[in-house]
Chain A
């Protein structure tokens, strides 16, 4: 079953010491991030398990929490499907009959199970596998036979989650990180849902060799998502408008290699606008024969934004800073700064729930090349509507669209197919457009 790899190198699909992983506990019931450092552990229910067994295994491996004499341990399941899932085959006569059963005679008074909690604890201490415990519970349940086949499966699955929880080791990606945060801490990512994030990346034409400008106030999710799509080709400039740059710590969850991480830059907005303005003024100075109308001040100066002081380092310093916690160098190499100032960025992504979109657009659209797509994400529609209205009135863009993504997941099982009972009602709004040259 070990497939050889495609164009990706083999070892990119194995966990390494210290790398970040996304732990999917009990089939999506709980998601947790962890770094596989020496004494790292995860708490599954009441059990604290060390993460050592997770180093050096392929992403996608499944582990089961088992009890032993030394406490709880994660054991890799070699054939997770045959041990944990049963094929839902409803072909036999007996199976058909068992589906037709219903619960009219079942009374829920907690007396059906004859095994006590003590008995089960005893089994666990003796190191019984999850499968054995579930079989024992089924054998000692008075009501089990009377349940429908579906109900029996649901019962077994519930018991397995409680007594032999499974942990699936996933490789963090933009989509899975977004989904995990959306479920457990959506405020940190501004309620950006995974389908909305996907839409942002496509509408902003993010791909290798793009020069993407990002205003990321979502913990680093946008920066990381763009970097993932660039794969080391092109640049992502994650900018900031305050004196102290906001953190983009989420980037550390993505296990980027050096070539990818080295194309992530942090440059202040005032530096970018200053350079762009200076370059355009120089270009216009070369072309203009008569005095043009007074060149307007770059919209980002003065009161509109807090201007960050120039980075301490001389920007002509050739070394660039990959993002590593607080040691990030807040600048970019001269050749990148020059290129951005003369050509403009090829696209823009904004995720800033507490900034007014029109203010941001006025400041940042001039940093883009002509015919460059831009997307502004916001959890609320009204600020984007007003921004769109201004952009239309000022003729600053075409193909303007205010979109609201919608996502629904389905349960697909034989005779039990329906949309999930729970659904997200909002994933935010997206204003997209393409810059134009008004000549």
Chain B
């Protein structure tokens, strides 16, 4: 999933090979991750797609279904696309929150990041990209099955070398000993009771390092902010981020109005004599502008993001 160093890249276009994860794109809201397998096959409403025909083609190509006639596109996976297709084992974070967290925590290549809980690994893939190639993401989850499923996914998606998954109850036990003394550059908490993890986060963070806590409920935010109001933390800020999307199409807008039974002449506005038009009988005129209109349904709330910095 992540870019490789130039010297290790093949010359020319990136081609699909056996074992690759591809994102099969039907529509902006219909996508699916598929592992390319020799003699494998994908079936959907557009027909049958043998994997063998994908091998050797460039990412971004169009493939036509047999016995269906429709087509799909084979896209290269990115953390953003993965967030849209991954299997949900828990509620996940989406690109609006993910992008803001990474930017606000000032993650960069080489950063050491602590994440709790792993959940479905949505944020984790973006964290891995942010700290690659020399940093590391230590992610914790108290659910054994989910921790294992996440670990397997990280391996399959090629980020396993950047992510260590540990089964651990951070609320109860805090972060492991190895991080005490400010070993981490940043901490992210997505927990039911994040205030319980604050003291441990404080001892794991380096000076001027960042912490972020994501909570759906304002009561959780209040308790977390209270827990952060200690000498070890400063600059406590809480935000909400959302993204509104627009549908774009051409719309017909009429440019003639009917005033009584005649157009133009009997209206209040009288154009200058030479421009006065003869009444058009029954002739409607329109323009077709491109319009952008927000989609009627939009996300109202995901959670509050509370940030703070480890004091110097």
Residues on A close to B: CB < 8 A? 1-8, 13, 58-62, 79-82, 87-88, 168, 171, 173-175, 194-195, 197-199, 201-203, 205, 207-211, 228-234, 339, 342-344, 346, 369-373, 381-382, 384-386, 388-389, 392, 398-414, 417, 419, 434-439
- A79/B231 in contact, CB under 8 A: yes
Contacts of A410 in B (CB 8 A): 221, 238-240, 304
| A404/B244 contact (C-beta < 8 A), A202-B126, A382-B292 known | yes
For A234, give its contact among B3, B74, B208 (CB under 8 Å): B3
What residue of chain A has the Cβ atom nearest to residue B128's Cβ? Answer: A207
Taking the complex as formed, is B311 at the interface, i.e. its CB lies under 8 A from any CB of chain A? yes
- B129/A417 in contact, CB under 8 A: no
- A3/B292 in contact, CB under 8 A: no
- B246/A209 in contact, CB under 8 A: no
Q: List 13 A-B contacts (CB under 8 A).
A: A2-B207, A3-B181, A4-B206, A60-B310, A80-B234, A198-B100, A199-B99, A202-B99, A208-B133, A369-B14, A402-B245, A404-B294, A409-B237
| A175/B3 contact (C-beta < 8 A), A202-B126, A229-B130, A417-B218 known | no
Contacts of A409 in B (CB 8 A): 237-239
| A8/B290 contact (C-beta < 8 A), A175-B106, A233-B5 known | no
| 3 pairs of A and B residues whose beta carbons are closest in the complex | A3-B182, A231-B109, A371-B60
- B245/A59 in contact, CB under 8 A: no
| A412, B220: Cα distance in complex, Å | 11
| A81, B109: Cα distance in complex, Å | 31
| A231, B136: Cα distance in complex, Å | 14
Contacts of A389 in B (CB 8 A): 248-250, 290
Taking the complex as formed, is B79 at the interface, i.e. its CB lies under 8 A from any CB of chain A? yes
- B62/A438 in contact, CB under 8 A: yes
Contact with A along B95-133 (1 / 0, CB 8 A): 110111011101011111000000000000010011011
Contacts of A414 in B (CB 8 A): 222, 226
| A201, B238: Cα distance in complex, Å | 22
For B246, give its contact among A59, A82, A370, A385 (CB under 8 Å): A385
For A403, give its contact among B237, B240, B245 (CB under 8 Å): B245
- Beta-carbon contacts under 8 Å, B1-53 to A: 2-6, 9, 11-14, 25, 28
Contact with A along B213-224 (1 / 0, CB 8 A): 000001001100
Taking the complex as formed, is B174 at the interface, i.e. its CB lies under 8 A from any CB of chain A? no
Contacts of B182 in A (CB 8 A): 2-6
- B290/A1 in contact, CB under 8 A: no
Contacts of B241 in A (CB 8 A): 195, 405-407
| A203/B80 contact (C-beta < 8 A), A3-B181, A436-B60, A439-B61 known | yes
| A194, B305: Cα distance in complex, Å | 15
Contact with A along B246-288 (1 / 0, CB 8 A): 1011100000000000000000000000000000000000000
| A82, B283: Cα distance in complex, Å | 78
- A403/B243 in contact, CB under 8 A: yes
| A372, B3: Cα distance in complex, Å | 12
Q: Smallest CB–CB gap between A228 and chain B, Å?
A: 6
What residue of chain B has the Cβ atom nearest to residue A205's Cβ? Answer: B78
- B243/A199 in contact, CB under 8 A: yes
What residue of chain B has the Cβ atom nearest to residue A384's Cβ? Answer: B292
- A4/B106 in contact, CB under 8 A: no
| A371/B306 contact (C-beta < 8 A), A59-B312, A233-B133, A389-B249 known | no
| A406/B80 contact (C-beta < 8 A), A207-B132, A434-B75, A436-B61 known | no
Q: Smallest CB–CB gap between B34 and chain A, Å?
A: 14
Q: Smallest CB–CB gap between B299 and chain A, Å?
A: 10
| A342, B14: Cα distance in complex, Å | 11
| A80, B231: Cα distance in complex, Å | 8
Contacts of A230 in B (CB 8 A): 109
Contacts of B5 in A (CB 8 A): 209, 233
- A199/B96 in contact, CB under 8 A: yes
Taking the complex as formed, is B58 at the interface, i.e. its CB lies under 8 A from any CB of chain A? yes
| A410, B304: Cα distance in complex, Å | 9
Contacts of B98 in A (CB 8 A): 202
- A343/B185 in contact, CB under 8 A: no
- B206/A3 in contact, CB under 8 A: yes
Contacts of A436 in B (CB 8 A): 60-62, 73
| A207/B103 contact (C-beta < 8 A), A58-B208, A400-B28, A412-B306 known | no
- B112/A7 in contact, CB under 8 A: yes
- A412/B236 in contact, CB under 8 A: yes
Taking the complex as formed, is B150 at the interface, i.e. its CB lies under 8 A from any CB of chain A? no
Q: Smallest CB–CB gap between B165 and chain A, Å?
A: 19
- B183/A4 in contact, CB under 8 A: yes
Q: Smallest CB–CB gap between A339 and chain B, Å?
A: 6
Q: Smallest CB–CB gap between B284 and chain A, Å?
A: 23
| A6, B183: Cα distance in complex, Å | 5
| A434, B60: Cα distance in complex, Å | 8
What residue of chain A has the Cβ atom nearest to residue B299's Cβ? Answer: A406
| A385, B109: Cα distance in complex, Å | 35
For B103, give its contact among A59, A168, A198, A401 (CB under 8 Å): A198
Contacts of A403 in B (CB 8 A): 243-246
| A59, B185: Cα distance in complex, Å | 13
| A80/B311 contact (C-beta < 8 A), A202-B102, A209-B6 known | yes
